[in-house]
Chains A and B, each alone.
Chain A
Amino acid sequence: AQKVTQAQTEISVVEKEDVTLDCVYETRDTTYYLFWYKQPPSGELVFLIRRNSFDEQNEISGRYSWNFQKSTSSFNFTITASQVVDSAVYFCALSAYVNDYKLSFGAGTTVTVRA
Chain B
Amino acid sequence: NAGVTQTPKFQVLKTGQSMTLQCAQDMNHEYMSWYRQDPGMGLRLIHYSVGAGITDQGEVPNGYNVSRSTTEDFPLRLLSAAPSQTSVYFCASRLRGLLGQETQYFGPGTRLLVL
Contacts and interface: CB of A to CB of B under 8 A. Distances in A.
Interface residues of B, number: 24
Contact of B48 (A6, A93, A102): A102
B2 interface: no
Given A44-B108, A47-B104, A100 B98 contact: yes
A103 B109 contact: no
Interface stretch (B38-46, B61-69, B71-79): B38-46
Nearest to A37: B106
Given A45-B106, A91-B42, A107-B42, A97 B48 contact: no
Contacts of A6: 42
Interface in A14-43: 33, 43
Interface residues of A, number: 22
A108 to B, nearest CB: 6
B42 A43 contact: no
Label chain B's interface by main secondary structure: strand
A43 B111 CA distance: 10
B42 A105 contact: yes
A110 B88 CA distance: 17
B33 interface: yes
Nearest to B42: A105
B99 interface: yes
A83 to B, nearest CB: 23
B20 interface: no
Given A97-B100, A100-B98, A91 B48 contact: no
Contacts of A4: 42
A95 interface: yes
Interface of A: 4, 6, 9, 33, 43-45, 47, 50, 52, 91, 93, 95, 97, 100-103, 105-108
